[in-house]
Amino acid sequence: MSSLTGAVSPRAAAPDDAIRPTWASVDLAAIEHNVEEVSRAVAPAGVLGVVKADAYGHGAVPVARAMDRAGIAGFCVSLVEEGIELRQAGIRKPIVVLGGVYGRLGSSEPSGAHRGVIEHELSPVVFDLAQVRAFAAAGGSLGRSPVDVHLKVDTGMGRLGVRVSELDPFLDALDQLGGVRVAGLMTHLASADCEDDRQSAGQLAVFDDVLARVLSRGHEPDVVHAANSAAALRYPDARFDLVRAGLALYGIAPVGAPRATTAGLRPAMGLRTEVAALRTIAEGEPVGYAATFVARRRTRVATIPLGYADGCSRSLGNRGVALVAGALVPFCGNVSMDMAALDVTDVSHVAVGDEVVLLGAQQGPAGSGRIRAEDVAARWGTIPYEVLTSVSRRVPRVYLRSET
């Protein structure tokens, strides 16, 4: 990998170019509002906005700009490419690359990824000496030594990070090598959104010891951070200098977070389409692949142009719901790649072209309702993170600035 500046992402259809009436709305005013809500809740700690995975499906560049306007302290991404995308869009605040993968794994030779991190002034997270050596070499070749890095320590997640038992030898080798500076110290809590607090409390105790050991070795990190949205809102002791907020900034209350800190959050994403076709089937007739739905009565079926390739999981077949005319209606039959079917028998006056809401609120002649990401996740058997990030890039994003 010689350079990442030419990496491109697939182009999603712009709203004006979209042929089918299916789109995701993103309320940027809600994003800004949520930044302000979380910032108040965790002050004096600063907030890093997590915009990895295309800002959880909301669109990284527009969302980062909205967060920037709201006073976010900086950003977190997972991939170097995601950080470069923000820099090329004019985002100047700190960007931490959480994923810790830069070029050829296990190699101490600097790659285009290492140089790209330095050239675009991104903050790399490191957890092994091969990474440290590669950044030291890349910084030296670019005349930008020492390179500021965030050191990740594994306090119990069991995924990435220097193991606590190996921390002192790691610091010994880092000191001998030179060429990098520990500008940040971090860890990640594995169970902050679980009701049982014991693992989080244990990890924080270990991290306090890690911080003391790092300071005693003469390192002076500018920032220390450990908390995601759930930990930031639940555990004041986890806030340190910065928190890494993701889910809460998109308007979803983390599991276990106090109601007082989440009541004001506003969901930012909606997912909408329209009725593409209507038909009435007789009792005993099937709908969809594998005939998993068979009508038990004379049934009115609405076909919608949205399927599992758009983020409407196949798991929602015969389990999901949508809003039509303000009423909740059930999915009938398996969800297809590009289409799904709804049972609208009990809703009067449904017509081709009527709005269908898969995520968000709707008012209509049959009433009013709201479908939250949490609701979809429960029916799907997953978590809200997956619901949001599964809305594919072929679904156009329409950016709104609603103030309510």
Is residue 393 within 8 A of residue 54, CB to CB? The reply is yes
How distant is the alpha carbon of residue 394 from its chain centre? 18
Whether 52 sits among the annotated catalytic residues: the reply is yes
- Residues 6 or more apart whose CB falls under 8 angstroms from that of 24 comprise 57, 269, 270, 271, 272, 359, 391, 395, 396, 397, 398
How distant is the alpha carbon of residue 50 from its chain centre? 7
Q: How far apart are CA 52 and CA 254, in angstroms?
A: 17
How distant is the alpha carbon of residue 88 from its chain centre? 20
Is residue 236 within 8 A of residue 261, CB to CB? The reply is no
Q: 182: which strand partners?
A: 149
Where does 305-404 show beta strands of DSSP type E?
321-324, 327-330, 340-343, 355-364, 367-371, 397-400
Q: How far apart are CA 228 and CA 244, in angstroms?
A: 5
- Residues 6 or more apart whose CB falls under 8 angstroms from that of 129 comprise 108, 170, 173, 174, 177
DSSP code for 77: E
Is residue 116 within 8 A of residue 5, CB to CB? The reply is yes
- Residues 6 or more apart whose CB falls under 8 angstroms from that of 168 comprise 213
DSSP string over 253-313 = PPTT--HHHHTT----EEEEEE--EEEEE-TT-EESGGG-EE-SS-EEEEEES--GGGT--
Give φ, ψ of 221 to 5 degrees. Answer: -60, 140
Looking at 52, 235, 250, 308, which residue is catalytic? 52
Q: How far apart are CA 136 and CA 177, in angstroms?
A: 8
Rounded (10°) angle between helices 60-69 and 28-42:
50
Looking at 250, 289, 385, 399, which residue is catalytic? 289
Q: What angle do CA 93, 210, 230 make, to 5 degrees?
A: 55
Residues noted as catalytic: 52, 289
